[in-house]
Amino acid sequence: MSSIEKAYQTQLENIQKKTGKSLEELVSLVKKSGLARHGEIRDMLKRDLGLGHGDANTMVHFALQTIPAFAGEEGDKPEADVLDEIYSGAKANLRPIHDKLMESINRFGEFEIAPKKSYVSLRRKKQFAMIGPASNTRVEVGINMKSLASDDRLIEMPAGSMCNFKVKVSSVGEIDGDLIAWVKQAYDSSG
């Protein structure tokens, strides 16, 4: 089991402890709500159960995978499956970079992981980072932070880009204190 899968399982266990409900009871609650849209279900779980945004989002992903009518809908694949698709073929060798980044970022606190077709978006109230392979040899980390101290590794993006900065990472060894500090600043300012 990867560190991401372990973190996902731990988060589901914590949701059960916080709510005093089993996963089956939580899925049943989602079914009985009659809601179908991800955001509506998430907001209901936040309102009715007092869950934080990240926990409610994780619970929606779990519930929508469990409920047969929703299973397999685009955007609701299990995160591990999406990552297997993103880091497949010639890009498979980049997965350890992604996993190491996420291991560090998971220590920050609660946030939502929104898998896309070719990257994952990391969000609190707004997106603070994006991680995905830019080529067969490197991962790019997009960082949403208006101002960061100047550094040769930080590439400022043009106005209107999805992120303010990006950092190219070609090996696990390039994941250092500076990179994690930049992502942490963006995390802190996003929520």
- Per-residue confidence of the chain (191 residues) as pLDDT tens digits? 666 677 788 899 999 999 999 998 998 898 888 877 778 888 999 999 999 988 988 898 888 777 655 544 444 455 667 788 889 999 999 999 999 999 999 999 888 888 888 888 898 888 999 999 999 999 999 999 888 877 889 999 888 888 899 999 999 999 999 999 999 999 999 87
Give the model's pLDDT for residue 128: 95
Cα–Cα distance measured from residue 121 to residue 130, given in angstroms and rounded to the nearest whole number: 5
Give the model's pLDDT for residue 79: 61
Give the model's pLDDT for residue 75: 46
Bridging pattern class, strands 127-133 and 139-143: antiparallel
Cα–Cα distances in Å, from 66 out to 9, 24, 63, 188, 189?
15, 9, 5, 32, 34
What would the two tokens of residue 159 be?
């106005």
What is the pTM (predicted TM-score) of this model?
A: 0.60
Residues 6+ apart with CB under 8 A from 179: 141, 153, 167, 169
Q: How many C-beta atoms surround the C-beta of residue 12 within 10 A?
A: 15
Work out the end-to-end distance of the chain between its first and last CA atoms, rounded to an integer number of angstroms: 30
Give the model's pLDDT for residue 186: 94
Q: Are 113 and 61 in contact (CB under 8 A)?
A: no
Listed residue (83, 80, 115) closest to 9, CA to CA? 80
Give the model's pLDDT for residue 17: 94
Cα–Cα distances in Å, from 170 out to 129, 134, 139?
17, 10, 6
Give the model's pLDDT for residue 149: 79
Give the model's pLDDT for residue 100: 94
Give the model's pLDDT for residue 33: 84
